[in-house]
Structures are given as C-alpha cells and as structure tokens.
Chain A
C-alpha cells in the first residue's frame, strides 16, 4: 500500500502528515495528528461528532479522505479558542449548561461556529435546522439551541 504525504493548514499552522489512500480525515486527525477533540460517533455521516471546517465549509471529517485536504485549510475544535481564551460559543455552552456527557460538544461547537460565520443572527428555527446533522442523546437540544442563540445575540462572530 502506498503511503501519501499531505500538507495542509491546520488551525492556522502548516502541517505535513503521512496517510494511507483510503484513510479518512477523521482518522488522520485523531490517529496521526493526535487531535482527538474531533470525535467519532458513527463514521458514516449521520451524527456530526466529527465536524470540522474545511475552507470555510462545515464537513463531516469521516466522509472526507485525508488525502483530499492537501493544500486546504482545516479548523478543528482545538482551533476554536483564540489566544485570548475561549470563543464566545464555548463560554455560552458552559454558561448555559449545554453539555452533559460532552461527547457531542466539539461537533456542536464547530457546527455552530460555521453557522454564525455565515448567519450571525439566526432564528431558533434556523439554528435547529442547521444543527439537525448533529446528534446529542443527552440534552434534548434545548440548552444547546439556547447557547447558540445567546452567543449570537452577544456577537460571537466578532471574535
């Protein structure tokens, strides 16, 4: 099996890693680059736990081949907080108790950031529609939706 070298911009830094041709971006992030904040819930695009932002677009990293990201930009949960501390979405999730077990939380925060980058003032319906690709089994979504709406009204995108 031929191993590929991939160079990408990951959370603002240039990195090069080796991977097998069939390997997903999710596996490369977790097992090659040791960024285990991106979670695996299903590996077939149905839970959103593996959400990352690829060139400004929200994707399920379990459905992207690692080799495809060569020359592209990726933001993972590890790149959401800035040098000055937590992103307002992260703070809002904490203040609204929008997590219980927390396994879905990285995916929800990455997905919500992608939403607010596009639509800084979403309605409740728009938030629910956007986050319908992320499963949470613990919270019933109530506090997650509130956390995103609150971060939006506090101007989360200015960060």
Chain B
C-alpha cells in the first residue's frame, strides 16, 4: 500500500531484522567472542601523566604460571612519519603507534605500557602487576592555558606548529593554528550598532558507550591475521592494523561483531594491534583483551576540553554584520583535536558577511582526543548560541526571530568556503515556532525554584564517503543483502528498507547482514551520519539493478521484450497476458537465464547538511544549584525519515548526551594529572530519572541529491543542547553560565558571584 509520503516501505516501522537477537541476549558483541585455545590479555597502564620510561623488567612477570607472551612498545615495528587518512580525518601513524603502546615516554595517565597474554585472566593480571618499570617523572601539562603559554615545555620534540600552513621552527604544544576568513571583519564591526563578546570554557567528556572495547586477534603461522572486534569501521581497523604492524592489507581480515555504542570513540584501534603482537609471540594462539570501565575512561575516547571566545556585531534591526571566533581545543597527548570541524560549525547556521574564525589544536598530558558525535560541534555551538541569545536580549528580539532573520539558506556561503545547497534551517525554526511547546507559557515557580526557557540551534555537515554492498535473489523471493557498514543503531533495517523500496518488495523479504572485510567491498566507517545516506544510496542502486534483472527474467517467461514488462504491486505485467507473481519469477530464475546477483560500490556525493533547533524548559534550585529538565522539544531537518522511530531515537539520544555534557559530565584530574573519576558513579551520565520524555519534531526538507531525500541524522542532535540549557538557565536566573558542565557547585558559585541569594 502506498502511504501519504508516496512510498511503500520508507516511513513505515517494521521490527528490525536483528531485533529478536538483541532482546533475547543472543546477539554477540565484542566481549562475547570466544575462540578455541584463546588466551586472555591484560594491560599495564601508566600511573603517571608524564614520565620517561627508563627501563621495563618483565622477568618476574614471565615467571607467573600460565603466562605465554609479554609485549612492550619495543615490539611494535618502527613506523616513520606518515599521514594516513583513516576514517574521520588524517592521523600521523607514528603517533597512532605510540598511542597503542608507549615508546620512550608515557604521555597520559592510563597510557598503555606493556601487555601480557596468559591462560587465564587472573594469571595475566598477576603478571601485569609484576612488571617493573623504572620511571623518571616529568612535569605534566594539564590545561590549555599552561600548554599554550610562552615557554611551556613541549610534549613532543618533533611537533611544530602548523601556522596557517607554515611550520614553526621550534617545537610547540600548539600543533596547528587554522583560520577561516570571509569579508572584512573591521568594516563589519564598524557597521555594527550592538556588539557582544564573551569567553566560554568546556570540560573533557567521554562518548560513554556502555560496551567497553574488546578485541580478539589471531596471528596465524602463515601470516594471516584475523581480528574480531566491535568497531565503527572494520575497513579502518584493517588499514590501521596493516600500517601499525607493517603487514600487507591482504593479510588482515576483520570480522566485526555487534557494537555496543561508539559515537566516534570506536573509529580507531586500541587493543587490536597489542592482541596481534601477543598472539604472534604465543605461537599463533588467539588472544582476547577487554578493557575495564576505568581503562575506557582513562585511556580512550574523550573529546576535547576547550576555550571558545565569540564576538558578534549586529545592526539594531537584528542583522548580523560581523562575527569573530577564537577557539582552542585540547588534543590530548597527540595532535588531532576536532577543532577543525568546530571551526566549520561554529557560525554556519547564520548568513554573516564578515567573519574570522581562528582555531588551535593544543597538546597536553591527557588521552588522545577522539571524535565524539558531531566532533567539536557542541563546544562551538554552546558559545555561539549563548551569544546569539545575549544579542537577542540586547536587541529585545525573540530567540527564533533573530535566528530566522539571519538564517543560512540555499546559496549562503559558509566562512570555511562551501556554499549551502538546499537546506532546511528556516523550516526547522518555523516548525519550532509553531509547536505547542513554544506557544505555551512557562509557569514560573516559587521559592528557591526558578524556571527558564532556552533555545539554541545547531548545524552539522554530514558526510558521504564510500560504501559497497552486494545482494542475491533467493528462489523463495527473499533477497540476501551483504553490507560492510557497522549497524550501530538499526541501519540494517534502514538500508534494507531502501533496497526493498527500490526493488518494489516488502522489507521483510530483505535479509541484511554485516559481513567481514573479505566478503564485501570497501566501506568507510559508520560515522559522519553517513550510513543511512550513503549505504542507502548503494542499496537504491542495487535495488534498481535487481529490479531490472527481475524484469528481464519475467520478460523471458512472458516471451516479450523487457521494455514491455512492468513490475507493480508485487506482480510482473505485460499487455494481453495474465500477470506473473514476484514469487513465481523468483522461483523460476534458473530456467529463465540464471541466478541474480549484483554488487554496487559508490564514492557518494551530495550529502545534505542538516540543522536542528532545540527548546528546553528548566527549573533551577538556587539552594542546591541543581538543574532539572522539565520539557524538551528538538526539531530537526532530516531530509527524509526512512524509519521514523530510529530517527526520533537518534534525536532523543543526542539530546540526552548533550544534556549530560551540559549539566554533569566532566573529567576530573588532580594536580599530578591522575584521573579522579574513571567510573560511572563519578563520571555521571544521565539516567532515566534525570530526563523527561524528549519530543523529536521531524522536519523533512528532502535532500535533492539522494534518491529518497536522506540527509543524515545522528550528529546534529548533540550540537544544540548545551547552548539551549545555558540559555534556559539565563532565562531562569539572569546569570550567563560560561563554563561546562553547569554542575550544582558551579551554578551556586555563579549565583554567589552575581549576588543572587537563595
């Protein structure tokens, strides 16, 4: 049956193909792998934030019964400086390798130093405790201001500032300074009648996936390596293994398991190369290693702490004339913070004629920063959207009014270069404007409770990348689909739906599976909100090929030309003959020309930029400083919602993460650089009790460059929440919160500083 959106499958809500396995406990994730003869691995991690490794003595460890192999950084092949483009952005392989197992220095608390494989986990852990490291402690650099200060001791002797494309002559903790410019900034501010400016600080946060990293690797005597792990990109793991271990890419097969969340934190390898080295030393026995939660927090993931300054100028009518942003992001121990994408995002929702954006990538003794859902976007939008709010108040304009007045549209050029294609920012703001939540009045509370309402917008580029998939038609009419895109939140189904729509069959006839790297063509990682867009585009093309072949088969059965056959409503039709059912044609393939198999690989183009606008009501208790989320509505242009509940789920999940970032989540370190809250009790993520229902308002402005209009959904929703909550707190208290998280203690301090008494 065709629905109101004109489609038969797209927009429906089938039960996901992997659903039963996931509600019965049968689905196998990283740590559920168990191979015959496997050994258990354990890792020694640095107790220091910055220290030279003088010597490592493994003799006592090797004597523990059951120990089969021990490796240190010296076991990794020497890789020179090489820039590899792995998944999201370029990585220097030497740095990647030194993050896997430290070389001469430990660069952060939790940095991997040595590893053991033994016949039991207990034995491996005992042996790890017996490894003796002679350390020479060095003073750590723990924050942006210290790291950037003139004369700061550099972490690496060989990192020089890439200063707007030129290399500096002395080593520095500033790995890169980038700039985007548009128009004439001085003239823009001269033209402004109102100018606002402020600096914002955000803490280090983690992606917080519930599944810890786990890898099982076997390095066979014939040189073949098999890797079982949960990853956002099996082909990225293959590439990194090949580069770090110095083996041909053809020797590495990656078998992806189910993945228990990633959010950007499972794009790169951590344990896999170490398990490989252990396996080789142990004579080819498979080695499995799983991180503890403390290891996950201390040594993987986090996304950057940052300092962001924003200055905006506007005319009295609200028209923005100039904007300037300066931002510094912690990269952690190796270069590569998401400051680049933050600089692209920060002012992108608005059409501003004169802009300068400066970004700095800064090293410090913390774990290497990784991507986290819309990398850099939340930090950037928190500052920019707080200032848009401040400007609106100075001009006595409504928060949606000022955003609509300056909204980017088709043809607007971003400060970082690209010109927007058809986008739906205006439609998204209008949807929020007309929503009952915005139209409702917020009841003001009494006593020590104050209520406020805030709005913020957000942008994300989205990404296309390369996807491949193959399919075959079975005699019973089902279509087996083999894909290489990690299914992190239901994409088996959203891709199968696009294949089904394209062929013209029900989605339950498609049987999707995610296969290993030897069984399907290359796929970029599941990241950049690309999978439903790009692998969906591949599924569409696959569907068209299969449909064409099916029609040819039906034509041979009809004994007419293919052009005379139509495939409609599950049947093949030609004039003057009774129709053939889809199942009859599939059952006769062998006699009408042979099996139908097809594969498609595409380097996709035409990803659709996406925008969100969020509205939140909060209640602040000015005695305790605690902020309660009362109501939340998140509008977003998704292009086309293939599977609406999953789209809503992405929006709701992004909001929850953004609220956690806004209110509670933050890495805490002591002065020596030891992480103090490496556990879920003290690294406090939102629970069901901390949140209300989150209304996802789906706006559909189809992406004209995708066959079904898909833009990409996953990342935008985490961009606006921190700004929206901060603006709501301002509305409640009249105090501008300039530091994340806006925790009870910080709120009390800000209230005291502003002279607001309970």
A residues in contact (CB < 8 Å) with B:
1, 20, 30-31, 34-44, 46-47, 49, 76-78, 80-81, 86, 90, 93-97, 99-106, 109, 127-129, 131-146
Contacts and interface: CB of A to CB of B under 8 A. Distances in A.
Contact of A101 (B261, B292, B687, B688): B261
Interface stretch (B28-36, B162-170, B173-181, B268-276): B28-36
Contact of A137 (B27, B210, B292, B643): B210
21 contacts: A1-B122, A40-B31, A46-B293, A47-B293, A76-B25, A78-B26, A94-B19, A97-B16, A100-B489, A101-B211, A102-B23, A103-B209, A103-B260, A106-B23, A136-B688, A137-B207, A137-B209, A137-B261, A137-B653, A139-B656, A142-B648
A137 B208 contact: yes
B558 interface: no
A135 B22 contact: no
Interface stretch (B317-325, B414-422, B678-686, B698-706): B678-686
Contacts of B693: 142, 145-146
A99 B22 contact: yes
B293 A90 contact: no
Contacts of A127: 688
A67 B576 CA distance: 76
A136 B643 CA distance: 21
Contact of B210 (A35, A136, A146): A136
B679 A94 contact: no
B679 A100 contact: no
Interface of B: 13, 15-16, 18-20, 22-29, 31-32, 34, 122, 207-212, 258-263, 290, 292-293, 488-490, 643, 645-646, 648-650, 652-657, 679-681, 685-689, 691, 693-694
B22 A102 contact: yes
B724 to A, nearest CB: 14
Contacts of A36: 25, 28-29, 31-32
Contact of A94 (B20, B649, B656): B20
A12 B240 CA distance: 46
A96 B16 CA distance: 11
A126 B493 CA distance: 32
A112 to B, nearest CB: 11
A140 B652 CA distance: 5
A140 B653 contact: yes
Contacts of A37: 24-26
A35 B688 contact: no
A103 B649 contact: no
Contacts of A131: 687-689
A146 B695 CA distance: 13
Contacts of A128: 688-689
A60 B209 CA distance: 19
B136 to A, nearest CB: 33
Contacts of B490: 97, 100
A96 B679 CA distance: 30
Given A100-B488, A136-B210, 5 more contacts: A97-B649, A102-B27, A135-B685, A137-B685, A140-B691
A103 B261 contact: yes
Contacts of A99: 19, 22-23
A100 B492 CA distance: 11
Contact of B260 (A1, A39, A133, A142): A39
A44 B679 contact: yes
A137 B652 contact: no
Contacts of A20: 122
Contacts of A78: 24-26
Nearest to A38: B25
Q: Which of A95, A131, A136, A145 has the most CB of B within 10 A?
A: A136
Contact of A134 (B646, B648, B654, B688): B688
A136 B650 CA distance: 13
Contacts of B22: 99, 102, 105
A143 B688 CA distance: 11
8 nearest A-B pairs in the assembled complex, by CB-CB distance: A37-B25, A103-B260, A140-B656, A140-B652, A97-B645, A102-B22, A100-B489, A77-B25
Among A86, A96, A140, A141: residue with most chain B CB under 10 A:
A140
Contacts of A145: 688, 693
B23 A94 contact: yes
Contacts, number: 183
Contacts of B211: 39, 41, 101, 103
A103 B27 CA distance: 9
A100 B23 contact: no
B688 A97 contact: no
A42 B677 CA distance: 13
A44 B212 CA distance: 13
B645 A96 contact: yes
A86 B19 CA distance: 11
A61 B292 CA distance: 16
Given A101-B260, A101-B261, A141 B212 contact: no
Nearest to A144: B688
Contacts of B25: 35-38, 76-78, 106
Contacts of B655: 140
A41 B212 CA distance: 6
B291 to A, nearest CB: 10
Contacts of A1: 122
A81 B25 CA distance: 10
Given A39-B211, A42-B679, A101 B489 contact: yes
Nearest to A131: B688
A138 B649 contact: yes
A40 B654 CA distance: 23
Nearest to B261: A101
Given A102-B258, A103-B261, A86 B489 contact: no
A145 B207 CA distance: 22
A128 B694 CA distance: 14
Nearest to A98: B649
Nearest to A124: B693
A91 B680 CA distance: 30
B292 A43 contact: yes
A137 B656 CA distance: 8
B653 A135 contact: no
B653 A139 contact: yes
Contacts of A144: 688
A136 B210 CA distance: 7
Contact of A135 (B32, B292, B680): B680
Of B31, B207, B211, most buried by chain A (CB within 10 Å of CB) is: B211
Contacts of A90: 20, 23-24
Nearest to B209: A137
Contact of B23 (A34, A40, A109): A109
A49 B210 CA distance: 8
